[in-house]
């Protein structure tokens, strides 16, 4: 299989064939590759699509925030940073609750 894993969508397109669907990680890889080519608008589109699929995904949030800084979308980047902090606090809370106490 190629670099990206493709999964089939349950619905069929008008041509009668199933359209490929990309996962969050595939979209983030595409976003990072677009950043490497200095195509920040395209990278932002990939990152936003990843966030639509998984709004709490920390990797997607961090990628989107970094791209928004490059695009000088500072208000959006600040909102993403706040979401990242909230998610990290929630994760730390649950990790601390699952550790055995001595």
Domains of the chain: 7-98 (1.25.40.10)
The two most distant CA atoms of the chain are separated, in Å, by 62
**Per-residue pLDDT tens digits for 68-96:** 999 999 999 999 989 888 887 777 666 66
Q: What does each C-alpha distance from 46 to 61, 62, 69, 102 come to in angstroms?
A: 12, 13, 15, 45
Q: What would the two tokens of residue 66 be?
A: 């970094």
Q: Going residue by residue through the chain (102 aa), what tens digit of pLDDT does each one get?
A: 444 444 444 444 455 566 568 899 999 999 999 999 999 999 999 999 999 999 989 999 999 999 999 999 999 999 998 988 888 777 766 666 666 665
Q: How many CB atoms lie within 10 A of CB 56?
A: 13
Contact 60, 83 (CB under 8 A): no
Instruction: For residue 65, count CB atoms less than 10 angstroms from its CB and return exposed for 0-12, middle for 13-18, buried for 19 or more.
Output: buried
pLDDT of residue 28: 96
pTM: predicted TM-score of the whole model, two decimal places: 0.68
């Amino acid at each position: 299989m190629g670099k990206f894993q493709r999964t089939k969508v349950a619905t069929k397109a008008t041509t009668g064939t199933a359209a490929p669907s990309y996962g969050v990680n595939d979209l983030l890889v595409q976003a990072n590759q677009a950043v490497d080519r200095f195509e920040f608008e395209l990278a932002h589109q990939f990152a936003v699509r990843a966030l639509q699929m998984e709004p709490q995904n920390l990797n997607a949030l961090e990628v989107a925030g970094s791209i928004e800084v490059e695009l000088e979308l500072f208000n959006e980047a600040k909102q993403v940073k706040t979401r990242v902090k909230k998610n990290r606090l929630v994760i730390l809370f649950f990790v601390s609750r699952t550790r055995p106490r001595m």
